[in-house]
Amino acid sequence: MNNKKKNEGRTDFSYYGLYLLDYLTTNKFEQATDETFIRERADRAAEAYERARLEGYPADGAQELAMKVLTEGLHYSKYAILREVVENEFAGEVPEAEREAFTRKLLPLVGNVFSIYDLSDDNFALSPEYDLLYTELTGAVVLYIEEYGV
């Protein structure tokens, strides 16, 4: 599905709103359907850009600050983390053509594993907690495959 189809009906979003919508949709964040969230975050990014330009930042520097505001706390989606586990640890068991469907099917079943981790921390992947989550998800996938197969 191309981006034009995915974003159909959403043409009233600003540049930042469309960028965020695409980012959230591509990475399968739960907020991808929350138009209020997208608009508020896009407005904050636009304000950050404008403020930075008024303070003398060059356009690319202001854009970098705006993008940081836009994606703050949105670096780790549950789907992307689980997909990484499936791709890295179960490439032999889950054929590449079936990984997306398998990950989507498994995600609601392992939701409780994510509940004790703060995925909004922009440095989460660098923390020991990320390794623990990765290990827990790997174990959950092993148990699922043993019980139900792919």
Which of 43, 71, 99 terminates a domain? The answer is 71
By residue range, what is the domain housing residue 141? 78-148
Q: What is the pLDDT of residues 105-147, one digit of tens each?
A: 999 999 889 888 888 887 888 889 999 999 999 999 999 999 8
State which amino acid sits at residue 52: A
Q: Is the domain of 51 the same as that of 67?
A: yes
Q: Is the domain of 87 the same as that of 65?
A: no
The answer to whether 38 and 21 are in contact (CB under 8 A) is yes
Q: What is the pLDDT of residues 9-41, one digit of tens each?
A: 555 788 999 999 999 998 888 899 999 999 999
Q: What is the pLDDT of residues 69-113, one digit of tens each?
A: 999 888 788 998 999 999 999 988 988 999 999 999 999 999 889
Number of domains composing the chain: 2
Give the H/E segment covering residue 54.
Answer: helix 35-54
Q: What is the pTM of this model?
A: 0.71
